[in-house]
């Protein structure tokens, strides 16, 4: 399976305790869902893990991963991202999107003029923000990902129509 057929659903924040348990940061809407998608893969796809959640912990979830038996094994995985086969993820309603599908889309204003391309989707606690690389700008453009500012997302056409607020630089 190619990397483009996988979606990042979490990351390992490090060891938790001394028995090989890890602190897992889930990127799923319902954090516990990360354990229900079947095997999770390392970013390079060379390792796979079954996940069994053990308990909530500060900053994430405690989990046991197959093949991770010691604190040293768990520490060695700190920072590793966990990926799932895309077909294992649930379908979304028409007005919801996986972040990975938004990255790379071209962004146009309501008049059809190009604004730039989505570089990342950020969330600093107040909702999703599209980070847009716009040629000729010294910094990326940050647009709130709301229906008012981003009225149209057309994944198939690879484009987004945005109506940036006047005060967005």
pLDDT tens by residue, 101-140: 888 899 999 889 999 999 988 877 778 889 999 888 888 8
The rounded distance, in Å, linking the Cα atoms of 50 and 3 is 19
3 pLDDT exceeds 70? no
Q: Indicate which CATH number applies to the domain containing 120.
A: 2.30.30.240
Q: Which domain holds residue 142?
A: 99-162
**81 lies in some domain:** yes
**168 lies in some domain:** no
Q: Are residues 79 and 44 in the same domain?
A: yes
Q: Are residues 110 and 150 in the same domain?
A: yes
**8 lies in some domain:** yes
Q: Are residues 16 and 79 in the same domain?
A: yes
Q: Are residues 144 and 104 in the same domain?
A: yes
Name the more confident of 165 and 32: 32
* Whole-number average pLDDT of the chain: 88
Q: What is the mean pLDDT of the segment spanning 134-153?
A: 89
Sheet bearing 159-162, strands edge to edge: 141-144, 128-133, 114-123, 106-109, 159-162, 152-154
Number of domains in the chain: 2
Q: Are residues 105 and 73 in the same domain?
A: no
**94 lies in some domain:** no
Among 24, 58, 88, identify where a domain stops: 88
Q: Are residues 105 and 143 in the same domain?
A: yes
């Amino acid at each position: 399976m190619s990397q483009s057929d996988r979606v990042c659903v979490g990351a390992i924040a490090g060891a938790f305790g001394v028995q090989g348990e890890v602190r897992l940061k889930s990127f799923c809407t319902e954090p516990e869902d990360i354990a229900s998608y079947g095997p999770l893969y390392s970013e390079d796809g060379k390792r796979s893990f079954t996940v069994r959640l053990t308990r909530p912990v500060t900053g994430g979830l405690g989990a046991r991963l197959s093949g991770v038996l010691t604190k040293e094994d768990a520490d060695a995985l700190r920072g590793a991202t966990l990926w799932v086969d895309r077909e294992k993820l649930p379908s979304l309603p028409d007005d919801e999107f996986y972040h990975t599908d938004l990255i790379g889309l071209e962004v146009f204003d309501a008049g059809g003029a190009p604004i730039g391309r989505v570089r990342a989707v950020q969330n600093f606690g107040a909702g999703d923000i599209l980070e847009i690389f716009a040629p000729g700008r010294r910094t990326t453009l940050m647009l709130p990902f709301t229906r008012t500012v981003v009225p149209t997302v057309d994944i198939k056409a690879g484009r987004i129509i945005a109506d940036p607020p006047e005060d967005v630089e």
